[in-house]
Structure 1
Amino acid sequence: MRSEETVEPDAAPDAAADAEADLNARFVAGDEQALAEVYRRWSPVVFTLALRSLGDRGDAEDVTQRTFVSAWTSRATYDASKARLSTWLVAIARRRIADTHESRAKIRALQAEMERVTSPDDLIRETPDLSETLLVANEMQQLEPDAQVVMRLAFFDDLTHEEISRRLGMPLGTVKSHIRRSLTRMRNRLEVTRVTP
Structure 2
Amino acid sequence: MELAAGLRDGDRDSLEEIYRRWSSLVHTVALRQLGAHHEAEDVTQLVFISAWRSRHTLTPTEHALPAWLIGITRHRIADRLGERAREAHKVASVAARDLGPAGADVVAPADDSGAVVDRLVLAQTIEDLGDPRRTILRLAFHEDLTHEQIVSRTGLPLGTVKSHLRRGLTQLRRTLEEVRHEFA
1:23-47 CA distances to partner (integer Å, 9 max, x unpaired)?
A: 1111111111100000000000000
Q: Give the whole-Å Cα distance in 1 for the aligned partners of 2:34 and 2:165.
A: 17
The structure with the largest alpha-carbon Rg is 1
Corresponding residue of 2:20: 40
1:150-172 CA distances to partner (integer Å, 9 max, x unpaired)?
A: xxxxx9xxxxxxxxxxxxxxxxx
Choose which of 79, 94, 101 in structure 1 pairs with 2:59: 79
Q: Extract unaligned runs of 5+ from structure 1.
A: 1-20, 140-154, 156-197
Q: Which has the higher helix share?
A: 1
Identify which of structures 1 and 2 has the higher relative contact order when contacts are C-alpha pairs closer than 8 Å and 6+ apart. 2
Q: Give the whole-Å Cα distance in 2 for the aligned partners of 1:99 and 1:117.
A: 27
Corresponding residue of 1:54: 34
Q: Give the letter aligned to residue 97 of structure 1.
A: I
Alpha carbons of structure 1 residues 62 and 27: separation in structure 2 relative to 1, 3 Å: same
Alpha carbons of structure 1 residues 56 and 113: separation in structure 2 relative to 1, 3 Å: same
Give the superposition deviation at 1:115. Answer: 1.8
1:123-163 CA distances to partner (integer Å, 9 max, x unpaired)?
A: 236367245674259x9xxxxxxxxxxxxxxx9xxxxxxxx
Q: Give the whole-Å Cα distance in 2 for the aligned partners of 1:49 and 1:121.
A: 38
Q: Extract unaligned runs of 5+ from structure 2.
A: 106-119, 127-133, 141-160, 171-176, 178-184
Corresponding residue of 2:91: 111
Q: Give the whole-Å Cα distance in 2 for the aligned partners of 1:24 and 1:123.
A: 57
**Aligned to 2:60, what secondary structure does the other structure show?**
coil
**Aligned to 1:123, what secondary structure does the other structure show?**
coil
Give the superposition deviation at 1:80. Answer: 2.8
**Aligned to 1:79, what secondary structure does the other structure show?**
coil
1:161-176 map, 5 Å: none
1:97 matched to 2:128: no
1:35-94 CA distances to partner (integer Å, 9 max, x unpaired)?
A: 000000000000000011101111000000000000001001111359610000000000
Q: Give the whole-Å Cα distance in 2 for the aligned partners of 1:95 and 1:134.
A: 26
**Larger deviation, residues 73-82 vs 45-54:** 73-82
Q: Give the whole-Å Cα distance in 1 for the aligned partners of 2:21 and 2:47.
A: 14
Q: TM-score, normalised by structure 1?
A: 0.54
Q: TM-score, normalised by structure 2?
A: 0.57
